[in-house]
Structure 1
Amino acid sequence: MMPEIRFQIEWPDGSQDLCYSPSLVVKEYFTPDQSYDLEDFLARSREALTIASDRVKAKYGRPCGLALGQLQEIEARASQYRQLPQAQVRILQFREP
């Protein structure tokens, strides 16, 4: 079993999501209580969740559908805020099971 983690984020409108990663690699890309410009947050999410999925693939022979699904959810949600000037996403906390 791989170490999984959840990271709680706050979108530009103040709403929050609890996101999933099958790997602790997200801790290398995000810092709790820090805000990231929307595009920077997306780039970091893409890289971290792709690495996480690849680690699952290396161990189990197939990519992690949950990690890739989480990335799709983040991308879809972020599209709502692209028109906002200086849109930022805040990392609130990590939650390990």
Structure 2
Amino acid sequence: MPEMTFTIRWPDGTREHCYSPSLVIKDYLSPGASYSLADFLGRSREALTIASDRVAARYGFACSRALGQLARLEAAGGTFSTHPDARVVVESFDA
């Protein structure tokens, strides 16, 4: 499966390099786009779940790295949940 990484910038300016085991993330996020925190987390959740399911369909087990990435995004996103105007920027797809 073609895997990829992408870089995001959290509302506090912190950059994070993220992983997806599938290019499906490109269907949910766009480089240069800014998303509300809730929208970003929802899109990431859906894309990384689909990516993990694709791995499971092909290899017989879920992608623990994709699910770990999702858990990391949700945990980090939780630190900004009290900020109603919090936005996450997708800086790049790193292939």
- TM-score tier, shorter chain, comes to over 0.9
Q: CA deviation at 1:84?
A: 1.1
CA distance in 2, matches of 1:84, 1:12: 9
Tell me the residue number matched to 2:50. Answer: 51
**2:71 counterpart letter in structure 1:** Q
1:32 aligns with 2:31: yes
Q: Which consecutive unaligned segments of at least 5 residues does structure 2 have?
A: none
Instruction: Please report the TM-score for the alignment, with normalisation by the length of structure 2.
Output: 0.99
Residues 36-70 of structure 1: CA distance to partner in whole angstroms, max 9, x if unpaired? 00000000000000000000000000000000000
Instruction: Please report the TM-score for the alignment, with normalisation by the length of structure 1.
Output: 0.97
Q: CA deviation at 1:85?
A: 2.6
**2:20 counterpart letter in structure 1:** S
CA distance in 2, matches of 1:57, 1:95: 24
Point out 4+ residue stretches in structure 1 off by more than 3 angstroms. none
**How much is the aligned-residue C-alpha RMSD, in angstroms?**
0.5
Q: CA deviation at 1:18?
A: 0.3
CA distance in 2, matches of 1:5, 1:66: 12
Q: Which consecutive unaligned segments of at least 5 residues does structure 1 have?
A: none
Provide the secondary structure at the position in 1 that maps to 2:11: coil
Aligned residues: 95
